[in-house]
Amino acid sequence: MIDVSGLTKFYGPRTAVSNLSFTVNSGEVVGFLGPNGAGKSTTMKILTGFMPASAGSVKVNGFDVFESPLDVKRSVGYLPENPPVYLEMVVEDYLKFAARIHDVPKTKLKGAVDSAIQRTGLTQVRNRIIGNLSKGYRQRVGLAQALVHDPKVLILDEPTVGLDPVQIIEIRELIKSLAGQHTVILSSHILPEVTATCQRIIVINKGQIVAQDTIERLTTRMRQGLLYTMSVKTPSEKGISALQSVSGVKSVSPEGGKLLIEIQPEQGELRDRIVEVAVAEKMGVLEFAAEKLSLEEVFLQLTTQEKSV
């Protein structure tokens, strides 16, 4: 459904996105994960045809974004970071306008608007002026706008930012319900958000893809790089450096009374060796445990490392 290859975008001398390649299949919900300024919004703007790429090709629904932007735009619903709502308009009128400019035929106009209102839970406020609505409702109006022409592809830029917890859950449920009928790409810098809604994540940092996989596979892959904690009586300098010199150990850092020992990925079993060294160095081992890397840490690790996993 979406085919991106070699996508690159420069803003003047600054590279916003470099050599991005990925595909999204029909009906899939994919999360774009990355810290602020990673290039998520830029990529999305290019996917919607709002902005041209400096290099590379983007195909949405079989149409090239550069060659036939209008066909792409017709099959895409886009919710930018700030919902593009006209504050002086009434919700229903606004959605009618959005439907009209997205080529919804006159006979289907009312039905399209009604169904968008229903799906985003705007029934109560359909006759109110958007400027008088709360941030959460405005966000929903923005989402309804993206849905109103029943697009094949939905591109949602940080759809839950600025919402309260209840609203966040509602929007997430809504996005999940879109899977199957729509192909959805959403961006976020919050991990739980992506885990809650997406089947697959693309982690992006500094304009490059760091990892892309299903969430389960990504965690397993990351778990191979393990973190152990060891409580010792005497965390001597000599002992620490001895531990560090064990092959396969990436770093040893004292934290409180504990030593955090990070292992390089795919090193196999090292626990025996580590404890042996600690005992030989007479550090007085009190406790030794393996720590599972939470997704949050995976993410941190993914985005703070240059290296691809």
Partner 1 sequence: MKFSFKKMWAVAFRDFRSYFTSPIAYIVIAGFLVIMGWMFFFNLQHFVAQNIQYKQFGMGKGASLTEGIIRPLYGNMNVIFLFLVPFITMRLFAEERKLQTLQLLMTSPMRLSEIILGKFLSALLLVFTMLALTSFYPIVLILFGNPDAGAMLSSNLGTLLLTSCYVATGVLFSAMTENQIVAGALTFAAGLFFWLINWASQSAGPVWSDFLDYLSLIQHYNNFSQGIIDSTDVIFYLSFVGIGLFFTHRVLDSYRWR
Residues that bind partner 1 (CB under 8 A): 11, 48-52, 70-71, 73-74, 76, 78, 80, 82, 84-89, 97-98, 100-103, 145
Nearer of residues 48 and 188 to partner 1, judged by Cβ: 48
Nearer of residues 109 and 300 to partner 1, judged by Cβ: 109
E strand or H helix at 188, and its extent? Answer: strand 183-188
Nearer of residues 41 and 167 to partner 1, judged by Cβ: 41
Give me the amino acid identity at 115.
S
**Least distance to partner 1 from the beta carbon of 84, Å?**
4
Strand partners, 22: 4
30 CB-side CA count, 13 A: 23
**Least distance to partner 1 from the beta carbon of 86, Å?**
6
What secondary structure letter does DSSP report for 90?
B
Q: At how many degrees (to 10) do helices 106-119 and 135-147 cross?
A: 140
**Least distance to partner 1 from the beta carbon of 34, Å?**
21
Nearer of residues 70 and 166 to partner 1, judged by Cβ: 70
Nearer of residues 97 and 288 to partner 1, judged by Cβ: 97
**Least distance to partner 1 from the beta carbon of 219, Å?**
34
**Least distance to partner 1 from the beta carbon of 110, Å?**
15
**Least distance to partner 1 from the beta carbon of 82, Å?**
5
Alpha helical stretches, state H, the chain: 40-47, 69-74, 91-101, 106-119, 135-147, 165-178, 191-197, 215-223, 237-244, 271-280, 295-304
Give the separation between CA 166 and CA 160, rounded to whole angstroms: 11
**Least distance to partner 1 from the beta carbon of 74, Å?**
4
What secondary structure letter does DSSP report for 125?
G
Nearer of residues 50 and 288 to partner 1, judged by Cβ: 50
Nearer of residues 94 and 299 to partner 1, judged by Cβ: 94
Nearer of residues 88 and 276 to partner 1, judged by Cβ: 88
Give the separation between CA 173 and CA 278, rounded to whole angstroms: 49
CA 98 to chain centre: 27
Dihedral angle at the C-alpha atoms of 34, 38, 41, 44, nearest 10 degrees? Answer: -80
Give the separation between CA 59 and CA 67, rounded to whole angstroms: 10
**Least distance to partner 1 from the beta carbon of 145, Å?**
7
Q: Which residue, among 144, 143, 138, has the nearest Cα to 159 in the 3D structure?
A: 143
Give the separation between CA 245 and CA 276, rounded to whole angstroms: 13
